[in-house]
Structure 1
Amino acid sequence: MTGAVWRRGPQAAAGIGAGTLVLGLGLLVGRADVALLGVAPLLAALWAGRPRARRTTAQPALTTVTTVTIEPAGGPAAPGELRATLHLDPPDEAELLHARVYAPGHRPTGVVVAATPRELALTLRTVRTGPQRTFHVDARGYGAGGGTAEDPVSVTAPDRLVLPTALPLGRVPVPRRLRGLTGPHTSRRLGDGNELRDVHPFTPGDRLRRIDWRTTARRSPHLDTLYVRRTYATAEATAVLVVDSRDDVGPDLRTWRGTGPLRVDEPTSLDLARHAAASVANALITGGDRVGVDDLGRRRRPLPPAAGRRHLRRVLHALALSSPRGTPQRRLRAPQVPADAIVYLFSTVLDDEPVELLRAWVAGGHPVVLVDTLPNVRGAREEHMRLAWRVTRAERDDRLRRAAAAGAPVVRWAGDARQDATLRLEALVRAAERHRSGVGTR
């Protein structure tokens, strides 16, 4: 390991300058007493400017340069607090150690400690999801009296992947046509289940445990005919979560141009989309259904539908990585989804492509739920930005009306509307049940 480069600190430079000035002034005016006043700070500054090791000759050589490492908490994190541990190992010549910690969206924090090996806990608060930059540390050791200082050492922590959290939801819409031989829902075909379909005479292939002895004794006292209870089979639903990651905008209109930094205490549209998709996926997979994920901003293989808690972790990981790579290309056709699957589209609807894809899915017989993930936009002071937002909002409202007219219900997911989204999804489930049962609505 190469030795640290020690330089004179500002205190030593000030002492040398002051001593030289007083010494020169005394010599210039011929005053020996004044010249002697400048010798003391000059010698002290020169002596303090010599780096000295804090060890005896009998002790082995230890650290010769400040070692700074950042150890982040292992595994993906959840929104809220990101934690890491800062390890500082100062050189032998240092008496004080100054560390300055930077984090995106936060004010820098500095700390001065005694030059001994130590660990410091770092905490970063953020509501953002996906790959996030965390900590950057600059550390510097100072010699005796601050007369010398080594070159600063800079270390940047690796990016952390922040997974979206799921909001507890009740029942969510599922497709009308179910698939599979087992699952949490009751299908319209015969099979093993809990919902009674009818009582039918025994036929070859019926199971003996299905015989209804009470009905048999009532209808056939002489046991000429056996009657069995037939039930509806159970099945599972399939859902595909389509995240429109082509837009990642915040509540501040001035950041939509991509020049201003996004605040870490305000979720963007992509953060809301990840949060909404994670909530829907958790509700479906917890109920025993199958869920897949597709991303409109990236041309890659979608995550195929599956079930289980392990698959839920894969879904959350795929949602955290959903982000555009470069300029997204326009899709010539809608992404293919499995037959009889429901599509959840999470989009800001700032252009016509989501509406066109939605219409294609509806035309193919797939039920679609559009989740609006645009955050609550704050008004801008600039007149041209207010005018541009009025035009954009009018066009967006027109697209939402066209989506609703095409048969896709729109659910708002931003601010206080996130709490109302649970009631809205539950209302969609009840409306679908009334439609299937033939009950009229008022």
Structure 2
Amino acid sequence: MTVGGIIVARGRTYGGPVDGPHGWRSTSAYTAAVTVGILLLATSVLAGRADIALIGIPGLLAATWAHAGRPATPLRADLHEPSGPTTPGELAATLRLAAGSGGGADDGADVVHLRITAPGHRTTHLTLAARPQNHAREQAQDRAVPLGLSSVRTGPQQTFTVDLRGSRHGTWEEEPTQVRAATRLVLPGAAPLGRLPLPRRLRGLTGPHSSRRLGDGTELRDIHPFTPGDRLRRIDWRTTARRSPELDTLYVRRTYSTAEATAVLVVDSRDEVGPDVRTWRGYGTIRVDEPTSLDLARHAAASVATALVEAGDRVGLEDLARRRRPLPPSAGRRHLRRLVHGLALAHPKDPASAHRVRPPQLPADAIVYLFTTLLDDDPLHLVRTWRTAGHPVVVIDTLPDVHPVIESHLAIAWHIGRLEREDRIAALDGEGVPVVRWAGSQRDQAAVRFEALAHAARRHIPGRTP
């Protein structure tokens, strides 16, 4: 978190109104000045000593001057931030303080005490002048305090809460008020990927890939005698001259048609776990500098979607924790923005309402990219159902690298869960379902793994040469 350019902690912000009362009250310093002044005057009268009265008179004069200058304008504050979703990293906002009514600089607070909090960050206490000091008094009614924080987390995020209280001359203070930030939506980023695995059958009449069907394209299928319906520009005159010197038969070059692939991204957002096992049951706070399983799933899905859309393919999105209508497969940069926005909205729901009786319905000839932690058996049932229907499936493992567990009971529980998870991965591998790890140091190897899978799938397409 940064306040006025000074780094304090890490996190992010949003704007909101001030809530609460705006009454002014005297401080203990004002009460002490009046009480001590009266006691000293009474003592001087009883003791007949004028020197004691000279000590108490300044305190009473100061209290009288402070009472005459009692502020009449409440302190107002607002948090301002650029509207719309944002991306992970440094996020900035501006806290604007209005300490006067505009008619003068002596009717409001001169000092503001701030307490800035954000989930997962240290609480920051700050005291600053209510008005900028480098402008004329009649022009310096508002002060802008830049705030900033950073986080690797994505999706809906809770942001700043600012508690503030104005004071004047140390003798008057305002009732504390609060600026509570709204939930901010952070869009996931995308990592560059190369070729990705594609379905066995391609759809559409045009696209970036060569299908197994005859049509206009660039990849040669065979040389065939001319038949009615063939285009004259397809005639291969060299082959015709070699095979039919008398030009009795014309030969044409036939090519594979170009087509587009259909992919469906299925995000398992039923749970969200971090590297610390102690936070898996909802106890404690997940650190903002460590991505969770859902953060990794959003990042991986955004990377796959970006690579497929840029290649001209059609991509859809399904969320296992949401019963709302999924995003149907489509192409284009506008659809990619819808996909990324849908990924940012993915978050865990109530476990009782997140159970799906049937797996999501998929378009024909679509490849499935499943992003899951493999912490239960539901992903296995989904994969087997889709493969029975003829859909190739690629599983992306989004469980973060788990920190060493110290507590004995948690260590035993994680050991059992890890063994069960390894059994599921082994079962998928035995059934020919590739599992790509997307966490820690293995995230950098995901692109190489995808490239190898794409090359292997290309070699095994019937009717194609490696």
- Normalising by structure 2, we get a TM-score of 0.86
Q: Percent identity?
A: 60
- CA 362–35 in structure 1, closer or farther in 2 if over 3 Å, else same: same
Q: Which residue matches 2:347?
A: 323
Specify whether residues 27 and 439 from structure 1 end up closer, same or farther in structure 2 by C-alpha distance, changes over 3 A only: farther
Q: Distance in 2 between matches of 1:30 and 1:324?
A: 79
Kept in 2, the 8 Å contact 1:68–1:153? The answer is no
Matched, 1:48 2:66: yes
- Indicate how the Cα distance of structure 1 residues 261 and 51 shifts in structure 2: closer, same or farther if over 3 A, else same: farther
Q: Secondary structure at the match of 1:416?
A: helix
SS in 1 for 2:461: helix
Q: Cα–Cα, structure 1 residues 25 and 438, in superposed 2: closer, same or farther, change >3 Å?
A: farther
Q: What displacement does 1:189 show?
A: 1.0
Residues 3 and 64, structure 1, Cα contact 8 Å, conserved in 2: no
Contact 2:314–2:331, Cα closer than 8 Å, also in 1: yes
SS of aligned partner of 1:279:
helix
Cα distance in structure 1, aligned partners of 2:417 and 2:395: 19
Pairing partner for 2:279 from 255, 264, 281 = 255
For structure 1, list consecutive stretches of 5 or more residues without a partner in the other structure.
54-62
The reply on whether 1:209 has 2:233 as its aligned counterpart is yes
Q: Which residue is 1:5 aligned to?
A: 23
Q: For 1:132, which of 134, 157, 160 is the aligned residue? A: 157
Aligned residue number for residue 100 of structure 1: 115
1:428 maps to 453
Amino acid aligned to 1:231: T
- The answer as to whether partners of 1:238 and 1:340 remain within 8 angstroms in 2 is yes
Q: Name the structure 1 match of 2:397.
A: 372
Q: Distance in 1 between matches of 2:395 and 2:38?
A: 77
> Using a 3 Å threshold, how does the CA distance of structure 1 residues 39 and 304 change in structure 2: closer, same or farther?
same
2:388 corresponds to 1:363:
yes
Q: C-alpha offsets along residues 347-400 of structure 1, whole Å, 9 cap, x if unaligned?
A: 111111111111111111111111111111112322111111111111111121
1: CA distance, partners of 2:458 / 2:22: 74
- The structure with higher relative contact order (CA 8 Å, sep 6+) is 2
How many residue pairs end up in the alignment? Answer: 430
Residues of 2 paired with 1:262 and 1:403: CA distance?
A: 30
State whether structure 2 residue 416 is matched by structure 1 residue 407: no
Whole-angstrom distance in 2 between the partners of 1:3 and 1:287: 57
8 Å CA contact 2:210–2:256 kept in 1: the answer is: yes
**Aligned with 1:38 (options 30, 37, 56):** 56
CA distance in 2, matches of 1:18, 1:318: 66
Give 2:453's aligned amino acid. Answer: L
Instruction: Kindly indicate whether the alpha-carbon contact (under 8 Å) linking 1:174 and 1:342 is maintained by their aligned counterparts in 2.
Output: yes
Task: Report the counterpart of residue 161 of structure 1 in structure 2.
Answer: 185
Moved more, 252-261 or 430-439: 430-439
What are structure 2's unaligned runs of at least 5 residues?
1-19, 101-106, 132-140
Residues 69 and 231 (structure 1 numbering): CA distance in 2 closer, same or farther, change over 3 Å?
same
Cα distance in structure 1, aligned partners of 2:249 and 2:152? 67
Please name the residue that 2:129 is paired with. 113
Which of 79, 82, 96 is 1:73 aligned to?
82
Deviation at 1:198, TM superposition (A): 1.3
User: Which deviations, in whole Å up to 9, do the C-alpha atoms of 1:309-343 show, x marking residues without a partner?
Assistant: 11110000000001133224322222111111111
SS at match of 1:278: helix
Task: Give the letter for the 1:358 counterpart.
Answer: V
Contact 2:263 2:315 in 1 (8 A): yes
What one-letter code is carried by the residue in structure 1 that aligns with 2:170? G
RMSD in angstroms over aligned alpha carbons? Answer: 2.4
- Specify whether residues 310 and 439 from structure 1 end up closer, same or farther in structure 2 by C-alpha distance, changes over 3 A only: closer
User: What are the within-5 Å matches in structure 2 for residues 304-343 of structure 1?
Assistant: 304-327=328-351, 328-343=353-368
> Which moved further from structure 2: 308-317 or 401-410?
401-410
Q: d(CA) in 2 for partners of 1:438 and 1:27?
A: 115
State whether residues 21 and 177 of structure 2, in contact with CA within 8 Å, keep that contact through their aligned partners in structure 1.
no
In the TM superposition, what is the alpha-carbon distance from 1:18 to its structure 2 partner? 4.2
Contact 2:154-2:187 within 8 A present in 1 as well: yes
Is the 8 Å Cα contact of residues 21 and 175 (structure 2) preserved in structure 1?
Answer: no
SS of 2:147's equivalent in the other structure is strand
| 1:34 to partner: Cα distance | 3.1
- CA 1:402–1:20 in structure 2 vs 1: closer, same or farther (change >3 Å)? farther
State the match for 1:389 in structure 2.
414
CA deviations 1:29-50 (Å, max 9, x no partner) are: 6755335423422442343244
Structure 1 stretches of 4+ with a deviation exceeding 4 A read 20-32, 437-441
Counterpart of 1:56 in structure 2 is none
Within the alignment, does 1:90 sit opposite 2:77 as a pair?
no
